[in-house]
């Protein structure tokens, strides 16, 4: 019964999405009928409430392990711990698409409830656009990915969840990522709305900014968490694999980072009008491209759950309709977007334009590298694109971008003198140069990218806090703190990435129980191997004793796990975090001579990567609070019409 | 400067960025795209020596040999048309076994052998690399 109710709620929500779009369009045609426009907001909220209820119904079905529901039967198992029953709701294609539309509807409802600054007709057009997007994805759910489909007869028990997904990370990572990913739809809808009502200007940018910022914070956290999850769960010692699915989350992040900066130019200086609108369209387009890549089943990945060509075609059609529609609207209306204010070649605006260009180049490089294997496959070639392509191509541009990030905040709006900017950046430049020379002398053998990376990190780290120089810290606005902390986070993350690839030590050995091996500054002894048992797995667990030099010994317990349903084996790495890095151990197999394979890494400063990610998101949160707070104070009565 | 001119310059810059990204990507792809080979392809078309590739096929029966260091293995990949000896140092995936599908990432050596840096084994049907499935259907090594 619950499944039927859930399906009914989804149909109702889809009906409301139709109403939301149609009433929105009508009210824009006939502005005198204010009742039409007034209805749009509550409808958007009701639509979100219905789909949230449908989502809760699906969670309930997973929690009680209702095996008469096909989705539960194929993806869950009654003996799974409850956390994975709960999180397993979105650990499959249909459930994760339902989460997708839930986030879409909730974001739309958020705008309908909270947005008070933008012009009334622009707001209605925005909510209308959000309704139209929702409609396509409701159709996708209801016609080709129904999560509530029944199975008759019901099997005795389910087939279980992919063990790689059986990790607490599954409870947080997908919802966080989706709030970022799909939350970007708000920027898209705002852009469409402002194009429809010819309202592209600073007021529109100020209204859009918090929504972009909020989605971007979630996206940053989601990517950071996903990277750490892959790092410890896959047991490969890496933190980024340029997997198409990772790229699918990185591309919207690159586009929205560019958007975040250009929307600031538009809000503060009234420049870059058309470009900002374009970026808003591109950012969510990248989210949809990512959804297509992940959900169409054309990729091999732990994220690509099932292969069904019909779904791929459906998603591809939606992609073309929405992106094509938005670009067509842009083409038609870009002529009506007035030119913005002027600026000099050396100015904060110019730096932000360059920032956008670099981000666009990285985005292009990642997009082409991600799509090329698919295109090649269509032409009959089997190709895979990996780190040898992405690292140098994207990395070199990223380094230039981060140098620019160091300089940008030290420039004034409108116009500045190059000599003065260089003088302001003298200390960071000196520090960067010092690191450049010191690293070359101390470690002449490390690669060019890590070497430059360490130097740029030093330069950018010092430069990022320079805007606070000689300022009254108490009176510094919160959003300036936000910028400083985010930029510092970028430098910190870069330092971690460069240090890890420059100084990482790896060891692969086969040892007997009682034997000791060395990795980096650690000596690691394999004490014993014993079987152990968990709720739905059995494992061999190694007990290892590690010590650094003559320091205190500590214990590491990596496992090789076997899951019963579906029958799969995974490696649970053991990680010991020190102040200056992580010791990472994976247990391999036993050879015919009784020795055990061990893979050990000493990864200096690797934790800085995720610390940097957290700082970037924290800076975003401070900026968001600062902006919203300031606008509360400044708000005009007429702006709140 | 007039507003029109500035707008034009910005649009041109945007175009330059997009073209630059395209050129950067194309030059990178030329060097770094890892093509997929079956042993038979190598027999027909010669060794791709200059870059990393993927080699896919079946692990030949009784071909897995272990070195004394306990972490290096040697095995033979075949596809019904040809065989390639492969060396791999590392922890092999759990489902890596004889008479089962494998995709090896690495480089061919001038003597025709292959040094793998990574192995992907056939998991269950749901996680099979599509390129392997396609190739093996084509060559008839995978019966369904």
CA nearest neighbour of A393 among A242, A499, A609, A219: A242
Closest Cβ opposite residue B71 in set A340, A377, A597: A597
Contact flag B24-A361 (C-beta cutoff 8 Å): yes
Closest Cβ opposite residue B4 in set A275, A339, A368: A339
Q: A77 CA to chain B: closest CA distance, Å?
A: 17
Tell me the CB-side half-sphere exposure of residue B42, using CA atoms within 13 A.
29
Q: Which residues contact A444 (CB under 8 A, 6 or more apart)?
A: none
A242: left (phi over 0), alpha (psi -120 to 50) or beta: left
> Quick check: A297 and A304 in contact, CB under 8 A?
yes
Q: Which residues of A53-90 are buried (b: 16+ CB within 10 A; e: fewer)?
A: bbbebbbebbeebbbebbbbbbbbbeebeeebbbbbbb
Identify the weakest region by mean pLDDT among A55-64, A323-332, B97-106. Answer: B97-106
pLDDT at residue A19 greater than cutoff 70 = yes
CA A347 to CA A244: how far, in whole Å? 37
Which residues of A, range 567-586, sit inside 8 Å of B by Cβ?
Answer: 567-569, 571, 586
Q: B111 CA to chain A: closest CA distance, Å?
A: 24
- Give A363 or A79, the one with higher predicted confidence: A363
Strands in A596-604's sheet, in edge-to-edge order, are: A505-511, A596-604, A581-590, A574-578
Q: Which residues contact A449 (CB under 8 A, 6 or more apart)?
A: A391, A392, A395, A396, A399, A498, A501
Q: Which residues contact A400 (CB under 8 A, 6 or more apart)?
A: A358
Average pLDDT on A169-183 reads 90
Average pLDDT on A24-53 reads 93
> Quick check: A244 and A367 in contact, CB under 8 A?
no
Contact flag A362-B21 (C-beta cutoff 8 Å): yes
Query: Tell me, what's the pLDDT at B134?
Result: 47
Average pLDDT on A378-389 reads 82
Nearest-by-CA chain A residue for B134: A382
CA nearest neighbour of A85 among A13, A4, A171: A171
DSSP assignment letter at A268: H
Query: Tell me, what's the pLDDT at B129?
Result: 44
A506 touches chain B (CB under 8 A): no
A52: tokens are 């949230």
Nearest-by-CA chain A residue for B95: A569
- Give A518 or A158, the one with higher predicted confidence: A518
CA nearest neighbour of A125 among A183, A188, A184: A188
Closest Cβ opposite residue A369 in set B25, B35, B127: B25
CB pairs under 8 A between A and B: 135
Residue numbers in B near A593 (CB within 8 A): 70
Query: Tell me, what's the pLDDT at A640?
Result: 41
CA A373 to CA A379: how far, in whole Å? 10
- Give A565 or B130, the one with higher predicted confidence: A565
Distances from the Cα of A498 to the Cαs of A399, A435, A494, A501, A539, in angstroms?
11, 13, 6, 5, 35
Which residues of A, range 601-620, sit inside 8 Å of B by Cβ?
Answer: none
Q: A25 CA to chain B: closest CA distance, Å?
A: 32
CA A452 to CA A56: how far, in whole Å? 49
Closest Cβ opposite residue B35 in set A365, A381, A592: A381
Q: Output the DSSP codes for A418-461.
A: HHHHHHHTHHHHHHHHHHHHHHHHH-TTS-HHHHHHHHHHHHHH
Contact flag A275-B14 (C-beta cutoff 8 Å): yes
Nearest-by-CA chain B residue for A383: B35
What is chain B's length?
A: 144
Nearest-by-CA chain A residue for B36: A382
Closest Cβ opposite residue A384 in set B54, B89, B124: B54
Contact flag A360-B131 (C-beta cutoff 8 Å): no
Contact flag A382-B33 (C-beta cutoff 8 Å): no
Q: What is the mean pLDDT of chain A?
A: 90
CA nearest neighbour of A154 among A75, A73, A94, A78: A73
Q: How many CB atoms lie within 10 A of CB A638?
A: 6
Query: Tell me, what's the pLDDT at A294?
Result: 80
Contact flag B17-A357 (C-beta cutoff 8 Å): yes
Query: Tell me, what's the pLDDT at A385?
Result: 87
> Which of B2, B16, B21, B120 would best serve as a mutation to test chain A binding (most A beta carbons within 10 A)?
B21
Query: Tell me, what's the pLDDT at B140?
Result: 38
Average pLDDT on A108-113 reads 95
A369 touches chain B (CB under 8 A): yes
Residue numbers in B near A361 (CB within 8 A): 17-18, 20-21, 24
A515 touches chain B (CB under 8 A): no
Distances from the Cα of A626 to the Cαs of A206, A209, A634, in angstroms?
13, 12, 12
> Quick check: A179 and A215 in contact, CB under 8 A?
yes
Closest Cβ opposite residue A382 in set B71, B126, B131: B131
> Quick check: A170 and A80 in contact, CB under 8 A?
no
CA nearest neighbour of A43 among A119, A134, A175, A117: A134
Contact flag A275-B91 (C-beta cutoff 8 Å): no
> Quick check: A544 and A585 in contact, CB under 8 A?
yes
> Quick check: A366 and A254 in contact, CB under 8 A?
yes
Query: Tell me, what's the pLDDT at B69?
Result: 87
CA A452 to CA A473: how far, in whole Å? 32
Contact flag A275-B123 (C-beta cutoff 8 Å): no
> Which of A375, A382, A597 would best serve as a mutation to test chain B binding (most B beta carbons within 10 A)?
A382
In which band, very low, low, confident or very high, does the pLDDT at A635 lie, cut at 50, 70 and 90? low
Interval B35-72: pLDDT, tens: 888 888 888 777 888 788 888 888 988 999 988 888 89
> Quick check: A362 and B114 in contact, CB under 8 A?
no
> Quick check: A128 and A19 in contact, CB under 8 A?
no
A336 touches chain B (CB under 8 A): no
SS (H, E, C) chain B: CCHHHHHHHHHHHHHHHHHHHHHHHHHHHHHHCEEEECHHHHHHHCCCCCCCEEEEEEECCCCCEECCCCCEEEEEEECCCCEEEEEEECCCCCCCCCCCEEEEEEEECCCCCEEEEEEEECCCHHHCCHHHHHHHHHHCCCCC
Query: Tell me, what's the pLDDT at B34?
Result: 79
Closest Cβ opposite residue A389 in set B4, B6, B32: B32
Average pLDDT on A561-571 reads 80
Contact flag B14-A357 (C-beta cutoff 8 Å): yes
Task: Report the percentage of chain A scoring pLDDT > 70.
Answer: 97
CA A214 to CA A88: how far, in whole Å? 26
Query: Tell me, what's the pLDDT at B98?
Result: 85
Pairing state of beta strands B114-121 and B83-89? parallel
Residue numbers in B near A382 (CB within 8 A): 35-36, 54, 131, 134-135
Q: What is the ipTM of this complex?
A: 0.80
Average pLDDT on A436-457 reads 94
Phi, psi dihedral angles at A11 (to 5 degrees): -60, -45
B65: tokens are 């040999």
Q: Output the DSSP codes for A573-627.
A: -EEEEETTEEEEEEEEEE-TTSPEEEEEEEEETTHHHHHHHHHHHHHHHHHHHHH
Task: Report the percentage of chain B scoring pLDDT > 90.
Answer: 18
Query: Tell me, what's the pLDDT at A103?
Result: 96
> Quick check: A47 and A108 in contact, CB under 8 A?
yes
Query: Tell me, what's the pLDDT at A9?
Result: 97
SS (H, E, C) A521-564: CEEEEEEEEEEEECCCEEEEEEEEEEEECCCCCEEECCEEEEEC
Query: Tell me, what's the pLDDT at A638?
Result: 43
> Which of B4, B22, B33, B131 would best serve as a mutation to test chain A binding (most A beta carbons within 10 A)?
B33
Q: A168 CA to chain B: closest CA distance, Å?
A: 22
pTM of the model: 0.91
> Which of A330, A366, A389, A590 would best serve as a mutation to test chain B binding (most B beta carbons within 10 A)?
A389
Query: Tell me, what's the pLDDT at A307?
Result: 54
**Any bridge partners for residue A96, and if so which?**
none
Contact flag B35-A597 (C-beta cutoff 8 Å): no
A241: left (phi over 0), alpha (psi -120 to 50) or beta: alpha
pLDDT at residue A545 greater than cutoff 50 = yes
In which band, very low, low, confident or very high, does the pLDDT at A639 lie, cut at 50, 70 and 90? very low
DSSP assignment letter at A413: S
CA A228 to CA A213: how far, in whole Å? 23
In which band, very low, low, confident or very high, does the pLDDT at B122 lie, cut at 50, 70 and 90? low
Nearest-by-CA chain B residue for A392: B28
pLDDT at residue A84 greater than cutoff 70 = yes
Q: B139 CA to chain A: closest CA distance, Å?
A: 15
In which band, very low, low, confident or very high, does the pLDDT at B7 lie, cut at 50, 70 and 90? confident
- Give residue A130's Cα distance to chain centre: 21
The structure tokens 């910028």 sit at A483
Query: Tell me, what's the pLDDT at B17?
Result: 87
Query: Tell me, what's the pLDDT at A532?
Result: 93
Q: Report which secondary-structure segment, H or E, holds A238.
A: none
> Quick check: A138 and A14 in contact, CB under 8 A?
yes
């Amino acid at each position: 019964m619950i499944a039927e109710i859930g399906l009914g709620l989804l149909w109702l929500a889809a009906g409301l999405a139709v109403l939301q779009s149609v009433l929105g369009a009508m009210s824009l045609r006939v502005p005198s009928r204010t009742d039409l426009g007034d209805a749009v907001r509550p409808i958007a909220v009701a639509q979100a409430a219905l789909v949230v209820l449908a989502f809760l119904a699906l969670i309930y079905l997973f929690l009680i392990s209702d095996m008469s529901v096909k989705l539960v039967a194929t993806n869950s198992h009654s003996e799974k711990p409850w956390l994975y029953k709960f999180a397993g709701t979105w650990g499959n294609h249909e459930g994760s698409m339902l989460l997708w539309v839930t986030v879409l509807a909730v974001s739309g409802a958020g705008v309908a409830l909270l947005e008070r600054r933008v012009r009334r007709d622009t707001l209605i057009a925005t909510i209308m656009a959000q309704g139209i997007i929702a409609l396509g994805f409701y159709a996708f759910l209801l016609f080709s990915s129904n999560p509530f489909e029944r199975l008759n007869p019901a099997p005795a028990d389910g087939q279980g969840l992919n063990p790689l997904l059986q990790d607490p990370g599954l409870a947080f990572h997908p919802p966080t990522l989706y709030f970022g990913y799909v939350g970007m739809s708000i920027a898209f809808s705002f852009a469409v709305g402002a194009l429809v009502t010819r309202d592209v200007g600073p007021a529109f940018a100020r209204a859009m900014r918090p929504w972009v910022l909020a989605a971007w914070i979630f996206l940053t956290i989601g990517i950071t968490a996903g990277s750490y999850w892959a790092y410890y769960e896959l047991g490969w010692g890496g933190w980024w694999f340029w997997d198409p699915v990772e790229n699918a989350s990185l591309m919207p992040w690159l586009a929205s980072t560019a958007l975040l900066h250009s929307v600031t130019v538009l809000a503060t200086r009234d420049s870059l009008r058309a470009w900002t609108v374009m970026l808003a369209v591109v950012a969510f387009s990248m989210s949809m491209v990512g959804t297509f890549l992940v959900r169409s089943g054309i990729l091999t990945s732990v994220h690509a759950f099932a292969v069904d060509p019909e779904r791929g075609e459906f998603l591809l059609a939606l992609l073309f309709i929405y992106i094509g529609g938005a670009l067509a609207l842009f083409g038609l209306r870009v002529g009506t977007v007035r030119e913005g204010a002027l600026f000099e070649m050396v100015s904060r605006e110019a730096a932000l334009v360059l920032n956008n260009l670099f981000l666009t180049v990285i985005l292009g490089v990642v997009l082409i590298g991600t799509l090329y294997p698919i295109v090649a496959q269509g032409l009959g070639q089997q190709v895979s694109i990996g780190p040898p392509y992405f690292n140098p191509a994207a990395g070199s541009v990223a380094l230039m971008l981060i140098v620019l990030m160091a300089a940008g905040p030290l420039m004034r709006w409108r116009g500045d003198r190059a000599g003065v900017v260089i003088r302001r950046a003298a200390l960071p430049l000196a520090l960067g140069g010092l690191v450049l020379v010191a690293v070359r002398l101390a470690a002449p053998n490390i690669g060019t990218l890590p070497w430059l990376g360490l130097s740029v990190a030093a330069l950018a780290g010092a430069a990022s806090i320079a805007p606070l120089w000689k300022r009254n810290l108490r009176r510094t606005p919160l959003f300036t703190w936000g910028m400083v902390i985010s930029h510092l986070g970028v430098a910190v993350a870069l330092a971690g990435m460069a240090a890890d690839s420059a100084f990482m030590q790896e060891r692969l050995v086969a040892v007997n129980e009682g034997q000791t091996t060395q990795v980096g500054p650690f000596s690691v002894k394999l004490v014993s191997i014993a079987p152990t048992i968990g709720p739905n797995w059995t494992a061999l667990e190694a007990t290892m004793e590690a010590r650094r030099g003559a320091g205190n010994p500590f214990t590491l317990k990596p496992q090789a796990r076997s899951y019963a349903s579906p029958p799969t084996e995974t490696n649970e790495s053991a990680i010991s975090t020190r102040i200056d890095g992580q010791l990472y151990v994976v247990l391999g197999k036993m050879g015919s001579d009784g020795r055990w394979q061990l893979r050990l890494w000493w990864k200096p400063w690797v934790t800085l990567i995720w610390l940097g990610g957290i700082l970037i998101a924290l800076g975003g949160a401070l900026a968001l609070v600062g902006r919203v707070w300031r606008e509360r104070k400044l708000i005009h009565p007429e702006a709140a019409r | 400067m007039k507003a029109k001119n500035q707008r034009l310059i910005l649009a041109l810059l945007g175009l330059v960025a997009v073209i630059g990204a395209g050129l950067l990507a194309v030059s990178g792809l030329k060097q770094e795209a890892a093509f997929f080979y079956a042993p038979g392809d190598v027999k027909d078309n010669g060794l791709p020596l200059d870059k990393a590739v993927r080699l896919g096929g079946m692990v030949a029966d009784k071909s897995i040999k272990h070195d004394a260091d306990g972490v290096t293995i040697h095995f033979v990949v075949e596809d019904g048309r040809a065989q390639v000896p492969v060396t791999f140092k590392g922890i092999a995936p759990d489902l890596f076994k004889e008479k089962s599908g494998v995709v090896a990432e690495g480089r061919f050596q001038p003597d025709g052998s292959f040094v793998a840096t990574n192995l992907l084994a056939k998991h269950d049907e749901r996680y099979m690399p599509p390129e392997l499935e396609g190739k093996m259907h084509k060559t008839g090594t995978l019966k369904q």
